[in-house]
Amino acid sequence: MVFKDKCYTTGITGITSEGLGVGSVNGFVVFVEGALPGEEVLIQINQVKKSYAKGKVVEILKSSTDRIKPFCGVYGRCGGCDLQHLDYDAQLRAKTGFVKDNLIRIGKLPDVTVNNTIGMENPFNYRNNVQLPVRKGANKSSIGFFAAKSYEIIEGTECRIQHKIGNGIRNVLSDFLVKNGISVYDEQTGKGNVRHLIVRSAFSTGETMVVLVINERKLAEKEKLVNALTSEFPEIKGIMLNINSKRTNIVLGNEYINIYGESTITDYIGDFKFQISPASFFQVNPVQTEVLYKKALEYASLSGNEIVFDLYCGIGTISLFLAQKAKMVYGVEVVPDALKAAKRNARINKVSNVEFRLGKAEEVIPAMYCQGIKADVVVVDPPRKGCDERLLQTIVEMEPRRMVYVSCNPSTLARDLKYLSEYGMKVEEVQPVDMFPWSGHVEAVILLQRAER
């Protein structure tokens, strides 16, 4: 047993995807913030639960050879990155371990081939989308990131994982708000106008979009703001206001007002062109997105004669990659705006062998199957909650030759693979891809084949 506020010495044997070291005290599992595998640490317990405890490092008695100095001055306070104290190669090894552990523990799949995580040559400034809360501080407006588990704004001079232009735009906006006396949002009262700054950047074209989320339907001195931003950053293609007057932690409202330029920016993944609107889902790491999609296409192993289902297709990014080598691709998406964007992207890229259908995959696919439309290859890229069991059941009944599962959550992935492997699909290979360096998140592409009877 362990006791709150008491100090103990423990060896760290593992690490969680949240960056917590895993140790043991008196046979009790303890998760330790900031500790790394291979270290011996003196810890203070700050939380005790029925089956585990949490603690913080008081002193590192023996340091890991993988420990490095964090590059960010606000690391540990900001709620963003959680692995900056861990060497990048060690992060990749840890992420491979996260996937393996979930497949064994949840999926009951101990013998599946899990390749080493594919990392980035340069794991900095990789994010093409930054959302910065703007809040009222003691004497001025604050623009930064929320502190871990709070609404306190942590301001840093530069965020090394964001596109560099986002840091510059933040600085210009911060000065502008102060000089022009424009009110910013107060979480406690719900008053004040400017709530969030969103910057979306297209890596391949250099185009940038700025969105200001505001509490009212107007913004004072907006023409002056447009001039301030565009004179400093000529790559800005459009500036929009998003109206969100609700007292909610949801960032975006439903209404947009364009105050400068275009309402979309254009980016490429491989040879495909995509128009990105403020609300469009587009992978935030374009370099690794191409790696991820090429692996999905490789695992699909298309000859040109296959009917392919792309489920949770979003704006059609994977669908277009698959259409290069498929007879026909059916994309299914539940978000109407995303589906409209998918159809538009197919037209822009002159891809005619793809058809998009609106609805929940677990409802659309059983209906298509009843109509006699079957897939030779199924690709799924679900949200973090994974696939609905009704969808998995229909896929199993359909007996596709191959299935490619793109996952952003190892635990729900393992759960779904367990179901699929129990009902006729064999998990052949898993390829983790590091989409989010310096965090514990990992994506993976999985190849499944129909098991021989």
pLDDT 10s digits, 374-390: 999 999 999 999 999 99
What are residue 420's phi and psi, to 5 degrees? -65, -40
d(CA 115, CA 285): 21
Judge if 295 and 246 occupy the same domain. no
Cross-strand pairs, 268:
273
- pLDDT above 70 for 216: yes
Judge if 175 and 318 occupy the same domain. no
Which residue bears the tokens 């998003």? 242
The CATH number for 143's domain is 2.40.50.1070
Marked catalytic residue, from 159, 313, 387, 408: 408
Task: Tell me whether strands 194-201 and 208-214 are parallel, antiparallel or unpaired.
Answer: antiparallel
Q: Where on the phi/psi map is residue 354: left (φ > 0), alpha (ψ -120 to 50), or beta?
A: beta
Judge if 329 and 382 occupy the same domain. yes
Quick one: pLDDT at residue 137?
64
Q: Is 138 exposed, middle or buried (0-12, 13-18, 19+ CB in 10 A)?
A: exposed
Angle, CA of 99, 105 and 111, to the nearest 5°: 70
| 3-class secondary-structure state, position 48 | strand
The CATH number for 58's domain is 2.40.50.140
Judge if 244 and 323 occupy the same domain. no
Judge if 108 and 148 occupy the same domain. no
One-character DSSP codes across 146-158? EBTTS-PEEP-S-
Angle between helices 410-422 and 389-398 (to 10 degrees): 40
- pLDDT above 80 for 79: no
Judge if 205 and 301 occupy the same domain. no
Give the whole-number percent of the chain exceeding pLDDT 70.
98
**Contact between 62 and 23 (Cβ < 8 Å):** no
The least confident of 24-33, 47-56, 137-146 is 137-146
Residues 123-154 pLDDT 10s: 999 999 999 999 876 556 788 888 777 777 87
One-character DSSP codes across 43-88? EEEEEE-SSEEEEEEEEEEE--TTB---S-TTTTTBSS-S-TTB-H
The CATH number for 334's domain is 3.40.50.150
50 vs 354 pLDDT, higher one: 354
One-character DSSP codes across 356-418? EEES-HHHHHHHHHHTT---SEEEE---TT---HHHHHHHHHH--SEEEEEES-HHHHHHHHH
Average pLDDT, the chain: 92
**Contact between 44 and 58 (Cβ < 8 Å):** yes
Active site (annotated) includes residue 370: no
Look up residue 230 and give its amino acid: T
Task: Tell me whether strands 129-136 and 141-143 are parallel, antiparallel or unpaired.
Answer: antiparallel
Tokens of 353: 């062998």
Judge if 265 and 289 occupy the same domain. no
| Closest among 162, 107, 130, 128 to 444, alpha carbons compared | 107
Judge if 255 and 298 occupy the same domain. no
Tokens of 317: 């990014």
Quick one: pLDDT at residue 139?
57
- pLDDT above 80 for 242: yes
Domain range enclosing 440: 92-121+285-450
d(CA 248, CA 242): 14
Residues 321-360 pLDDT 10s: 999 999 999 999 998 988 998 999 999 999 999 999 999 9
Q: Please check whether residue 76 lies inside any domain of the structure.
A: no
Quick one: pLDDT at residue 347?
96
**Confidence at 247, pLDDT banded by 50, 70, 90:** confident
d(CA 154, CA 375): 49
Q: 432 vs 100, 295, 296, 383, 418, CA distance in Å?
A: 10, 10, 11, 16, 18
d(CA 94, CA 61): 22
Q: 342 vs 71, 148, 312, 449, CA distance in Å?
A: 38, 35, 11, 28
**Confidence at 432, pLDDT banded by 50, 70, 90:** very high
Q: Please check whether residue 300 lies inside any domain of the structure.
A: yes
d(CA 45, CA 13): 17
Positive/negative CA dihedral, 385, 389, 390, 394: positive
**Contact between 115 and 426 (Cβ < 8 Å):** no
What are residue 84's phi and psi, to 5 degrees? -65, -15
Q: Please check whether residue 1 lies inside any domain of the structure.
A: no
Tokens of 411: 């635990």
Which residue bears the tokens 């005790």? 48
Q: 42 vs 37, 46, 180, 293, 324, CA distance in Å?
A: 14, 13, 50, 44, 56
Indicate the number of domains in the chain: 3
Q: Please check whether residue 265 lies inside any domain of the structure.
A: yes
Q: 77 vs 32, 33, 34, 139, 154, CA distance in Å?
A: 16, 12, 12, 21, 7
Judge if 96 and 53 occupy the same domain. no
The distance of Cα 453 from the centroid of its chain, to the nearest Å, equals 38
Terminus-to-terminus CA distance in the chain, angstroms? 51
Quick one: pLDDT at residue 35?
95
User: What's the mean pLDDT in 276-282?
Assistant: 84
**241: Cβ contacts below 8 Å, ≥ 6 apart:** 211, 212, 213, 214, 219, 222, 256, 257, 259
User: What's the mean pLDDT in 167-171?
Assistant: 91
From the CA atom positions of the chain, what is the Rg in Å? 24
Judge if 333 and 436 occupy the same domain. yes
Quick one: pLDDT at residue 140?
64
Residues 2-15 pLDDT 10s: 889 999 999 999 99
